[in-house]
Amino acid sequence: MRIIVADPNLAPHRERFERQLPAGASVTWHDAADRDALSAGIVDADVFVGSKLPAAVAQTARNLRLVHAAGAGVDGIAVDALPPNVLVANTFNHERSIAEYVLATTILLRRRFLDQDRQLREGIWASSVYDAALTQPDALGAAHVGFVGFGHIGQACWNLFQHMGCTASAVTGRGSADPGAGLSWVGKPDRLGELMAESDVVVVSVPLSESTAGMIGDAELAALGPQGILVNVGRGPLVQEEALYAALEKRKIAGAAIDVWYEYPVDGAGSPSRFPFAELPNIVMTPHSSGITRQTFIGRIDDITANLGRLDRGEPLRNVVTR
């Protein structure tokens, strides 16, 4: 089995990857940005592992049996350019790290720690203990959490929130979830307004599609209200860009943690939006890093190499993506 790996996030775990390969397998590591070298290398490869496979490169492969995404998304892989007999699989293992991010940023915003940090740097003690005009913040455990999407990420987040004493409800594409999940209710997306109105914290992790793009706009943010917190770890365009900026600027919602954006960088630099979110004091801005931990990529290495073992033995693969 000849394997091509072209993903910089897996490179730090190269030794682990190679140690777990099937006997007799060979692997070469490529820079995903070097299309010429990648095209030459993939010609006789059986397996491609990576997050980006352009159509022009995919079409040069003659023996490809499996394209294994190095993460959950396959939007960077030109699936339509692959012959129909080529399997496509993905891997997750980011949900626990993302859940940590969601919990941490929710606490920062709900307890007003961002404001307190900023003001104390200027000598202002922004606490009701020192300023009677300030109200006492609510503990996280008193919150009702609304999940927009309840897949791997939503469930991992709920595991943490539940231990803090929160209650929760969810809207999902199917309008259902595991009966043992412990949610107050689960509904279809037509109940999104109801979910927003009753929630103190809303976690967005639904996949981006034609039906979900822009699903949260002015009306939904107004329903969340001036005490509400929005955390988006799904995709930026799930929340309407201008509506989100206006809601934060005008304090129509209390705050937001945004890890997924509307514009992405070239060579690691560039603004994430056409609006000046960076000037707002009530937002946590992160560069799509909520799932980026060492443990995430170790888990992905283990998933991918386990699938390569199944491929070598002629067994069914896990996490095969429907094409």
pLDDT (tens digit per residue) in 94-118: 999 999 999 999 999 999 999 999 9
* Confidence band for 266, pLDDT divided at 50, 70 and 90: confident
Q: Is the pLDDT of residue 180 over 90?
A: no
Percent of the chain with pLDDT strictly greater than 90: 92
Report the distance separating Cα 300 and Cα 94, nearest Å.
Answer: 9
**Highest mean pLDDT: which range of 75-84, 159-168, 265-274:** 159-168
Task: Tell me the mean pLDDT in the region 258-278.
Answer: 94
Task: Tell me the mean pLDDT in the region 147-173.
Answer: 97
> What's the confidence (pLDDT) of residue 75?
85
Q: Hey, what domains does the chain have and what are their CATH numbers?
A: 2-93+294-313 (3.40.50.720), 95-285 (3.40.50.720)
* Closest-CA residue to 94 (of 302, 296, 303): 296
CA–chain centroid gap for 74, Å, is 13
Task: Tell me the mean pLDDT in the region 162-170.
Answer: 97
> What's the confidence (pLDDT) of residue 127?
97
For 27-49, what is each residue's pLDDT tens digit?
Answer: 999 998 888 899 999 999 999 99
Half-sphere exposure (Cβ direction) of 234: Cα atoms closer than 13 Å: 27
Other C-beta atoms closer than 10 Å to the C-beta of 235 total: 21
> What's the confidence (pLDDT) of residue 171?
98
Helix (H, G, I), strand (E, B) or coil at 202: strand
**Largest CA-CA distance found in the chain, in angstroms, rounded:** 73
Tell me which of 65 and 33 has the higher pLDDT: 65
Q: Is the pLDDT of residue 80 over 80?
A: yes
pTM: 0.91
The H-assigned helical ranges of 123-275 are 152-163, 192-198, 218-224, 241-249
Q: Is the pLDDT of residue 228 over 90?
A: yes
Range list of β-strands (E), 105-171: 144-148, 167-171
> What's the confidence (pLDDT) of residue 33?
84
> What's the confidence (pLDDT) of residue 323?
76
Task: Tell me the mean pLDDT in the region 190-213.
Answer: 96
> What's the confidence (pLDDT) of residue 234?
96
Range list of β-strands (E), the chain: 2-6, 26-29, 47-50, 66-69, 87-89, 144-148, 167-171, 186-187, 201-204, 229-232, 255-258, 283-285
> What's the confidence (pLDDT) of residue 322?
87
* Confidence band for 56, pLDDT divided at 50, 70 and 90: very high
> What's the confidence (pLDDT) of residue 53?
95
* Confidence band for 268, pLDDT divided at 50, 70 and 90: confident
> What's the confidence (pLDDT) of residue 104?
98
